Amino acid sequence: MVDVLPTIVSVPGFKVAGVHCGLKKNGALDFALVFSDAPCTAAGVFTTNRVQAAPVLVDMERLKATPDRIRAVAINAGCANACTGQQGIDNALQTARWVAEYTGCGEDEVLVMSTGVIGTQLPMDKIKRGVELAAGALGENHWEAAARAIMTTDTRPKMASAALTAANGQPYQIAGIAKGAGMIAPNMATMLGLVVTNARFPAPLQPLLHAAAEQSFNRIVVDGDMSTNDTVLLLSNGQSGALETPVGQYPDAVRAVSRKLALDIVRDGEGATKFISILVTGAPDEAAARLIANTIATSSLVKTAFFGSDANWGRIVAAAGRSGVPVNPDQLRLWLFPGETTTGTEGGLLLFENGMPTAYREEQAGDIMRLPSVSIRLDCGAGDGAALVWTCDLSAEYVAINADYRS
């Protein structure tokens, strides 16, 4: 078990900064820079939306060409640089060029990420100012400033870290920051994430990051929408002298840090009042279980029932029935649990089985639904497939936040 902390002190070998350059009207931090003392091996996972932002396209190409010598990541809030044509690509490349100029690394050693409103061009005078200020403010212990600088509708920064010892006896750190609160759906969401480590891992990082994302960032839902900018990067520079092995703690730590960041996104969902764990078991296979769980998690009727603390289990069963998986209602069993429960059925309230509601007490179900954390388990009785997805409720505040997002 990897002990993950909700803070980051430092990751020796990396310097970070978060500054205000005028992208946010309220004077908040809005530009972050992460810089490595040495070239990093890097990997990335990106949105599966076919409409992809300029920084996504630039980073995908750069990681394909030079995955073993990345030095810096520049992140701006306030503008997504999406649907901006060739000028958007040019602006992303110019941002990387300025980072290289101010830090002394190569232009092709810089990755860029953006978040904010779609369809507007980056204000390049402010971006250049952000690069200049951030390069001058780089330090080992500015991780919270960087995490705050990438926030949009987030209400709090999202950080995670773990300290470990490698197979060769050397200590090392893994740390990550992320942003995201709305436009969150499986297969990446409106989120940016960056995980760094000063250890060296002998195997390729791309499969490791993909596996971590499959168990974290690809298992969360706030509203069912998928963004144009979703990016998670993993950078490893080996500056600690730690050399891990494929069977060491390194893969577990990457997964643990990623999961902490992903769950923080759900807990901070726009207007959310409840954190909901959805476990589907007994499906024909894992893919079927995930499909059922995602259908439940993205159902507006299910999510509003949770907001109203209404144990309207029929909406959950109906969502499973329309998921596309051939479920048999007579085989379904549905439990409601207080808190975050992902194993067993002890302590759960059985609501539905044999195609009918059970003789549960509505008052007991209501008491559970009013808790800030609630879990449901749906057993399909049709196989060994299982999947766990995390979501939140859908409130009136979510509508208010997104009704005037650009104003």
Relative to beta strand 70-76, strand 110-114 is parallel
How is residue 78 annotated by DSSP? S
**Can you tell me the distance from the alpha carbon of 222 to that of 270, in angstroms, rounded to the nearest whole number?**
8
**Can you tell me the distance from the alpha carbon of 223 to that of 65, in angstroms, rounded to the nearest whole number?**
35
AA identity, residue 86: Q
Q: Order of strands across the sheet with 349-353?
A: 356-357, 349-353, 333-338, 373-379, 275-283, 385-392
3-class state of residue 352 by DSSP: strand
CB 32 within 8 A of CB 130: no
CB 199 within 8 A of CB 9: no
How is residue 115 annotated by DSSP? B
Would residue 383 be called left, alpha or beta, if left means φ above 0 and alpha means ψ between -120 and 50 degrees? left
Identify the active-site residue in 41, 95, 190, 298: 190
CA 97 to chain centroid, in Å, comes to 28
CB 159 within 8 A of CB 179: no
Element holding 45 (H helix, E strand): strand 31-46
Beta bridge partners of 379: 281, 333
3-class SS shares of the chain: helix, strand, coil, % to 5: 35, 25, 40
Residues whose CB is less than 8 angstroms from the CB of residue 300 and which lie 6 or more positions away in sequence, other chains included: 394
- The question of whether 245 is a catalytic residue gets the answer no
* Residue of 292, 294, 375 lying closest to 341 (CA atoms): 375
- CB count, 10 Å around CB of 38? 12
Active site residues per annotation:
190
